[in-house]
Structure 1
Amino acid sequence: MLQITTEYLATGANRHPSAADWDESGLLAFGADKNVALWRPQDPNSKGILELLSGHMDIVNAVKFIPGSGAALITGSVDKSLIIWKMYEKTSFYSNQQSLNAHDKNHHQSSINCIAISPDSKVFASGSADAIIKIWALNDQNVASFQQSIEIKPRFFPLAIALSPLHGAPGSYILAVSGTKDIIQLYVLNGGASKEFKLQATLAGHEGWIRSLEFTEETEDPNSDLILSSGSQDKYIRLWRIHQGKELPAAAASADPSLGAFMPGKSLSNKAHRFRAQAIDFSATFEALLLGHDDWIYSTKWRRDCKRLQLLSTSADNSLSMWESDAETGVWVTTVRLGEISSEKGSTTATGSTGGFWTGLWSPNGKTVVALGRTGSWRLWNWDDQKERWIQGIGVSGHTQSVTGIAWSKDGDYLLSTSSDQTTRLHAQWKREGKASWHEMARPQIHGYDLNCIDSLGASQFVSGADEKLMRVFNEPKAVAQLLAKLCGIKGSHVEEMPDAANMPVLGLSNKAIEAVEDGQEIPPSDVYDRSYNNVDPASIIHKSTLDLDQPTSEEHLSRHTLWPEIEKLYGHGYEISTLATSHDGTIIATACKASSIDHAVIRLFETATWLEIKPPLKQHSLTVARIRFSADDSHLLSVGRDRQWAVFARDSDDKTKYEPLEANPKGHTRMILDAAWAPRTSKVFATAGRDRKVNIWAKRHVETSFTCKSTLTETVPVTAIDFLDSMIGDGLAYLAAGSETGFVAVHSVDFKNNFKVQTLAVYLPSHYPNPTRQVTQLAWKPTHAENRDGEPDVSLAMASEDSSLRVYSYKPRSSVC
């Protein structure tokens, strides 16, 4: 049996203001597709995502830790369910403690958008697209019980809710609700005989949807007023005061006419909204208007430090702002602004715009802040006491849509991935002072089409295919080569001949090689802008100092300065590219496209010396070719397709660029074949996997003239991805990994000397959540380059999934584990 260890987890966060929370223990949780990712941003080892929790059936929109619980959180999803997770100390893994789903008559009947938990952890509320707020009680074991349904009238969809105890009225709570209207509704739980929240006030003033609400106590005084922050699509933040007593707070009572001076033609209302709880009088009044953002405001988060109240806000204007009240005037002003500079607003994704920040969070000690951008990546800043400023640190990133293809470099130094999010990403290990951690090191391709497949052409070149009729070939730039050499110990060849970096022209799809400029060097207008189609965005001009880094690249750097220049386009197909493969010697590229007829279901070959197509194309299939694989010695080419057949082509002994049909089996499986893989060190054995839930092992003995099925592995669900390790294990054993439509993955051994008997070595245990939660799209063992092995080696397997996750796990024999 094999011991499984997590090496790397990468996935993008769901772009929703409520999809993340940071616990007092330093653990940050965020929704990632239908998983929940756990990350410690202040971990000095920079390990990135620690765990992916699976349990929801659709996108996770809302995540909240239960205050003071030690290790418990509540998540809400598009699947209409709430899950309460609890960490068990013995295993250190989180487990689903309680599921509250739509099958319960008291539960939501539509997507859950927001969750609010009272600071005393006794009550929480959930808001859904069914225009209903549900109130739940929590006991000491964090088990929830239904209390009340609140139908929002006038009807609107809640996007943000906030919940807090009312000081001075024990057992009473105040609930703020906002969403797809420009009002905030305040509901109060009396705490006496009444056990229901009732509408007590409606706060008006905003002129757009309200995306964020959060309560805080103004001071540490037990009788302190509550301050409510609200962030709106009208670009403004409003602060509201919840005050105990019949007398109004000083700011509201003064009715200062200057309050309206900031908005010409408008007067800010300071109307007092009075209500009672347990016979105690309270009032809700407008406190302050915060101006400074230039676009929609997505989130606001409070923090109190040394009796100083701070507010963190994020906006679609690509900025994160910290606000404080001036000690002398009481006016709220921006003290720190992080993110993008205004001159870069309006840039396209390709030229580096992050497209705004969806949420921002304080660390428990206030020394770190993080912000979630449009690309699903987290950006992080740490406070430097010596420099007295915020310094950008190492965040986490990942794909935000299905990961459609992965490929190791030929020597296994780094891993490439492509996705339906239209990006290609390069992942490698950062090695320093005895530590090693995986990170996204470069983003070679940012495209305008969904990317479907990728393969490496060597240490510094790759080819990718997308939902367009051509393939694109990319070369590594000097900036990336030097970064990989410095941080990862990956030595590239011909570095001096490489261009400094690459750029994408405005409205273009092809990355162009460019040279970096010296710091302070003035750029002539003709070098930055011309009247041709290939206009270059001035914001993307690269200075040499920006390419010299001491740590993994930030999201800003990834999207601007790590593109690879495109050197060639390969034409020939009539429809979207479905799959491609490169020969092990790097001389041939084989490609196929989506097809419904024999005319388009062909395999086209391109030789890399001149980038010309080798004609005629290979004809055998009648429907889309799902996978193409070269044998280890490149002597044979294997293809499988949706027409249920596999085909093998043999390389011409005289002309190494030509392949001829050798054999085909039109009934290889009873349903479409989705993947195939050659066994290591041979062109006599291969495996195929299909929707008929079977993995077939095909072999041709010395006396046999054709491939026959020697062994069959039957699964309970369709098998969508397989891969053989490239070296034999011990005496005649080979590792075969298989992934399924449901995300289940297992590693098997195939005994070549015992009639290809298949034995399962490792199955992922559900309690440890290593399985993807959607279809496994591709599996790839890290190259070992070993001719033979006496025992079981430590090897790594990369897996791509439709759940937007990229995972790398290492395997070692249990006998070698101390």
Structure 2
Amino acid sequence: MSVPQVRRAVAALRGHAGRVNCVRWVRRRDGGELLEFKLCEIFSCVQLVKSIPLKGHTEAVFAVDAVCQSDEPDFNVLIASAASDSTVRIWSRHGSEAKCIEILQFGNGFVMDVCLSFLPGSDVPILACGGDDCKISLFIQQNGQFQKVLILPGHEDWIRGVEWAVCGEDLFLASCAQDCLIRIWKVCTKLKQLPETEDDSIKLKENIFTVKVSLESVLAGHENWVYAVHWQPSFSKDGSIQQPMRILSASMDKTVIIWEPDKESGVWLEQVRVGEVGGNTLGFFDCQFSPDGSMIIAHAFHGALHLWKQATINKKEWTPEVVISGHFNSVEDVKWDPEGEFVISVGFDQTTRLFAPWKRKEETEVTWHEIARPQVHGYDLRCLAMIGRFEFVSGADEKVLRVFRAPKNFIENFSNVTGIFYLYNKSSYFPFFLVCSLANEVLILIGDMAVQPDEDEESFNTISNQYPEIYFQPLILTEPPPEDHLLQNTLWPEIQKLYGHGYEIFCVACNNSNTLLASACKASKKEHAAIILWSTSSWKKLQSLSFHNLTVTQLAFSPDDSFLLAVSRDRNWSLWRRENSSESGPVFTCCAYTDKNTAVHSRIIWSCDWTPDSKYFITGSRDKKVIIWGQCDLSVITEGNGLDSIKPCSTVLDAGDSVTAVGISRVLTPDGRYIVAVGLESGKIILYTWKQSGKEPTLADWTTGVEIDNSQSHALAVKRLCWRHHAGRAGHNDENSSKWLQLASCGADHCVKIFNVNRFAL
């Protein structure tokens, strides 16, 4: 089985309602794997991909394993699951039916990991359970029931992982624990019954063979808890070894080790050690070999995947590889850059991440990767707004807004990875082309101007000027960086802090001319729910807009920058119009709003957005309603007639679930209809088209375009929807770019998703 060069997410398997704690492939009896796997989650349920929920545990399920008992098309699967209810349940699945056949009780103890296999040369299942009592319990199925036949002591702390491997007539068990050690046990079977005086043997009279367990080796090399141990999948159907026996282990000491027995002495030795040095991570939770053993992948404490590949010539050399990555907690906000070439997201994992498309020279497919982690915070991040090219402001569960600007090293690396080149300047970034002349000069062409680059110009705002060299290495990249580089070398300098709010920042927005910021914080009183306007040139506070009584949940400037829209937990929206600028800056006045007498929404309004012509705005609420408001010309609104002139222009759209995010594309359908994306608390995303039909709303004004399939939508609540500002797909050179739109979404399921939308099909 070859490993594909293009690594991307191919599907999302939905079905669980809580955090998934464990993933396992169903193994065949010959050691291979089936293209089906099962998950265990915090809601006390084990579920197969084919939607067969196995319910019975009363507490969180955190370990599961399974083996196939036959190779028939309608195969039997034996499943073992461990939960914090101090039980291990044995399940039997035949075809589309599954049931619990046995419950193993462990008193007040907990089983941390389970693994199933078969005794060599037989169809007798054997189960290993590693627990918090520092012991491994072995169970063998006899007469349809699992019986505890042996306890393996030796570890001095909780056992975190156990895994079987079959080698000829021998069965090996690897175990790891919080005592920093790995133990290898050997199970030998004989086809004759030994005398009953041997107390350390397992006797199965009905099968006429005996099993004996001995300690093969103790591997000491890790300096912290060992969380996972796995054998390389290298055994064929006849039991012969295709590759040398190898073990992979992952530890909280930030390393992953490959162990292999010495060819001459047979002593297990450390062969390869990879991992992290320094940084702010806390080690690895799990690891796996690729099928051919040429690659290893590890799952870090901070949610990242690390991938290493074995060198072709020097087998001892393993180099980091590009891998998909993302947030490891709820993603609260996502924004496109003004040119639509990348997205930036923030989340409760206290990081800001930048994702961009990457197209390898030898591949035709474009994949998205994290290429920078501009901000690592000490608070949960909630919102962000782009301020022009490579500059953003973020808000977190603190009272401060923070402004960041990309360093020169990032601009260079972004150009290398994406193929889009920029001229670095103190105040802005311009796309440019390099032209070589016969005079041996290099000219930078910007529009109609040609200038010579100044080699002596002092670099501006580089990270190396702000961080010691030991922490930052300005590396030149030609592909998306690995996790260790993301953690240490891709931070952006913070150029400003904005003080003024009394509580945690909740939302922020920037106008389209990048001159104004609007922000709001959590509030339970009117005085704290005020919206603050900031100047992006002086970073001074310009105005405080007071109207709402509770937290303002989202802010949105109209595309023409004439209006500011705010929606709130108090179930109302407010519309602010920009008046003539004063000496201290622009002045906004409230020109329209809803109150308890005029409100249509009956629950929290979570989201809002504008149509590209600034004529209408949309609101989405927990009451499942989506409404488009406005009139033909908002410029005629005055403070006196605003309440009467701003009315629903659409019928009330019932989305069927709480609406948590809405977004309107700036590109219309070919027949001139607005394209509206609606995100729900269930994780679904539905695309509608809307066009005002006459003076009064009619049932025909909304048209359902497409409901994104469950396998592609979010598993939990959609937090934000953001359309790319213009047609086309980032990273593609489409001949017919007007055909495609791109929609970015983020959700509580830790995911950022980019959807390609064919606007001609809506």
TM-score under structure 2 normalisation? 0.85
Gap change, CA 1:380 and 1:608, over 3 Å in 2: same
* Match of residue 775 from structure 1: 717
Query: What is the CA distance between 1:61 and its match in structure 2?
Result: 1.4
* Match of residue 671 from structure 1: 603
Code of the residue aligned with 1:685 in structure 2: it is Y
1:605 and 2:536 aligned: no
1:549 and 2:477 aligned: yes
* Match of residue 336 from structure 1: 272
1:763 and 2:694 aligned: no
**Aligned with 1:458: secondary structure?**
coil
Aligned with residue 282 of structure 1, among 191, 211, 228: 211
Gap change, CA 1:815 and 1:598, over 3 Å in 2: closer
Deviates more, 1:559-568 or 1:713-722: 713-722
Gap change, CA 1:815 and 1:677, over 3 Å in 2: closer
8 Å Cα contact 2:670-2:759 kept in structure 1: no
Code of the residue aligned with 1:226 in structure 2: it is L
Query: What is the CA distance between 1:355 and its match in structure 2?
Result: 1.4
Query: What is the CA distance between 1:167 and its match in structure 2?
Result: 2.0
8 Å Cα contact 2:257-2:274 kept in structure 1: yes
* 1:737-768 Cα distance to aligned partner (Å, 9 max, x none): 111122222111111354565333433354x5
Aligned with residue 411 of structure 2, among 462, 481, 506: 481
8 Å Cα contact 1:764-1:771 kept in structure 2: no
Q: Where do residues 523-602 of structure 1 align in structure 2 (5 Å cutoff)?
A: 539-542=470-473, 544=474, 547-602=475-530
Code of the residue aligned with 1:681 in structure 2: it is D
Distance 1:490 1:408 in 2: 16
Distance 2:592 2:761 in 1: 42
Aligned with residue 57 of structure 2, among 81, 88, 108: 108
Aligned with residue 238 of structure 1, among 180, 183, 189: 183
8 Å Cα contact 1:582-1:589 kept in structure 2: yes
Gap change, CA 1:339 and 1:537, over 3 Å in 2: farther
Distance 1:791 1:171 in 2: 59
* Match of residue 466 from structure 1: 396
Query: What is the CA distance between 1:374 and its match in structure 2?
Result: 1.2
Structure number with the bigger relative contact order (C-alpha 8 A, sep ≥ 6) is: 1
8 Å Cα contact 1:312-1:321 kept in structure 2: yes
Distance 1:539 1:148 in 2: 57
1:273 and 2:200 aligned: yes
Gap change, CA 1:119 and 1:130, over 3 Å in 2: same
Query: What is the CA distance between 1:226 and its match in structure 2?
Result: 1.1
Distance 1:119 1:382 in 2: 30
8 Å Cα contact 1:454-1:463 kept in structure 2: yes
Query: What is the CA distance between 1:58 and its match in structure 2?
Result: 1.1
1:180 and 2:111 aligned: no
Gap change, CA 1:710 and 1:296, over 3 Å in 2: same
Distance 2:579 2:426 in 1: 37
Code of the residue aligned with 2:157 in structure 1: it is G
1:807 and 2:753 aligned: yes
Query: What is the CA distance between 1:496 and its match in structure 2?
Result: 7.7
* Match of residue 571 from structure 2: 644
Query: What is the CA distance between 1:495 and its match in structure 2?
Result: 4.9
**Aligned with 2:13: secondary structure?**
strand
Query: What is the CA distance between 1:806 and its match in structure 2?
Result: 1.0
* Match of residue 105 from structure 2: 151
Aligned with residue 741 of structure 1, among 658, 673, 681: 681
Code of the residue aligned with 1:227 in structure 2: it is F
Distance 2:462 2:193 in 1: 64
Aligned with residue 295 of structure 2, among 358, 368, 391: 368
8 Å Cα contact 1:476-1:498 kept in structure 2: no
**Aligned with 1:482: secondary structure?**
helix
* Match of residue 438 from structure 1: 368
* Match of residue 556 from structure 2: 629
The unaligned stretches of length 5 or more in structure 2 are 71-76, 235-240, 430-459, 729-735
Query: What is the CA distance between 1:307 and its match in structure 2?
Result: 5.0
Code of the residue aligned with 1:167 in structure 2: it is P
Query: What is the CA distance between 1:447 and its match in structure 2?
Result: 0.2
Code of the residue aligned with 1:178 in structure 2: it is G
1:320 and 2:267 aligned: no
Gap change, CA 1:143 and 1:432, over 3 Å in 2: same
Gap change, CA 1:208 and 1:651, over 3 Å in 2: same
8 Å Cα contact 1:54-1:773 kept in structure 2: yes
Query: What is the CA distance between 1:563 and its match in structure 2?
Result: 0.5
Deviates more, 1:67-76 or 1:770-779: 67-76
Gap change, CA 1:471 and 1:628, over 3 Å in 2: same
Distance 1:453 1:111 in 2: 32
8 Å Cα contact 2:192-2:210 kept in structure 1: no
8 Å Cα contact 1:413-1:490 kept in structure 2: no
Query: What is the CA distance between 1:642 and its match in structure 2?
Result: 1.0
* Match of residue 229 from structure 1: 174
Distance 1:368 1:335 in 2: 14
Distance 1:293 1:132 in 2: 30
* Match of residue 7 from structure 1: none
1:662 and 2:607 aligned: no
Code of the residue aligned with 2:183 in structure 1: it is R
The unaligned stretches of length 5 or more in structure 1 are 1-24, 27-41, 86-94, 102-106, 250-270, 345-351, 500-511, 518-533
Code of the residue aligned with 2:311 in structure 1: it is D
Query: What is the CA distance between 1:513 and its match in structure 2?
Result: 5.9
8 Å Cα contact 1:355-1:373 kept in structure 2: yes
Aligned with residue 666 of structure 2, among 726, 749, 757: 726
**Aligned with 2:701: secondary structure?**
strand
**Aligned with 1:481: secondary structure?**
helix
8 Å Cα contact 1:431-1:489 kept in structure 2: no
1:123 and 2:52 aligned: no
* Match of residue 383 from structure 1: 310
Deviates more, 1:227-236 or 1:329-338: 329-338
8 Å Cα contact 2:400-2:501 kept in structure 1: yes
* Match of residue 798 from structure 1: 744
**Aligned with 1:353: secondary structure?**
coil
1:309 and 2:245 aligned: yes
Distance 1:182 1:418 in 2: 40
Gap change, CA 1:515 and 1:638, over 3 Å in 2: closer
**Aligned with 2:484: secondary structure?**
helix
CA RMSD of aligned residues (A): 2.7
Gap change, CA 1:555 and 1:206, over 3 Å in 2: same
**Aligned with 2:486: secondary structure?**
helix
Distance 1:436 1:111 in 2: 39
* Match of residue 687 from structure 1: 618
Query: What is the CA distance between 1:722 and its match in structure 2?
Result: 0.7
Gap change, CA 1:555 and 1:279, over 3 Å in 2: same
Identity across the alignment (%):
31
Distance 1:482 1:80 in 2: 48
* 1:442-467 Cα distance to aligned partner (Å, 9 max, x none): 10000000000001001110000000
**Aligned with 1:241: secondary structure?**
strand
Code of the residue aligned with 1:43 in structure 2: it is P
Distance 2:189 2:590 in 1: 85
Query: What is the CA distance between 1:120 and its match in structure 2?
Result: 4.5
Gap change, CA 1:432 and 1:229, over 3 Å in 2: closer
Distance 1:482 1:632 in 2: 31
**Aligned with 1:276: secondary structure?**
strand
* Match of residue 118 from structure 2: 165
Gap change, CA 1:813 and 1:583, over 3 Å in 2: closer
Distance 1:213 1:581 in 2: 50
* 1:531-552 Cα distance to aligned partner (Å, 9 max, x none): xxx9x6775142x4xx212211
Query: What is the CA distance between 1:179 and its match in structure 2?
Result: 2.1
8 Å Cα contact 1:470-1:570 kept in structure 2: yes
Distance 2:355 2:463 in 1: 24
Gap change, CA 1:553 and 1:248, over 3 Å in 2: farther
Query: What is the CA distance between 1:793 and its match in structure 2?
Result: 3.7
Code of the residue aligned with 1:203 in structure 2: it is L
8 Å Cα contact 2:687-2:707 kept in structure 1: no
